[in-house]
Amino acid sequence: RDDLVAGLIAHGHRHAHAVASEQDLTRLVRDEAKPGDMVVCLGAGTISAWANALPERLRAAE
């Protein structure tokens, strides 16, 4: 995971992050993303469920 993020950053994607939990993902997007930004979730396993739940989790965090 950390190697993937390092590779993304090395190739110009300076805002790539790894997150360890759904709560961390919600917090990161809430704190860093601005209107119009695109959030790309890449991984295997639970990331699909986290990404699908993200809009509702962000609304609940407001």
Q: What is the pLDDT of residues 19-58, one digit of tens each?
A: 999 999 999 999 999 999 999 998 888 999 999 999 999 9
DSSP three-state, residue 17: coil
Is residue 18 within 8 Å of 8, Cβ to Cβ? no
> So what's the pLDDT on residue 44?
84
Q: How many residues does the chain have?
A: 62
Is residue 30 within 8 Å of 58, Cβ to Cβ? yes
> So what's the pLDDT on residue 9?
95
Q: How confident is the model over 10-20, as a mean pLDDT?
A: 93
Q: Would you call 11 exposed, middle or buried from its count of C-beta atoms within 10 A (0-12, 13-18, 19+)?
A: exposed
Q: What is the pTM of this model?
A: 0.81
Q: How confident is the model over 6-25, as a mean pLDDT?
A: 94
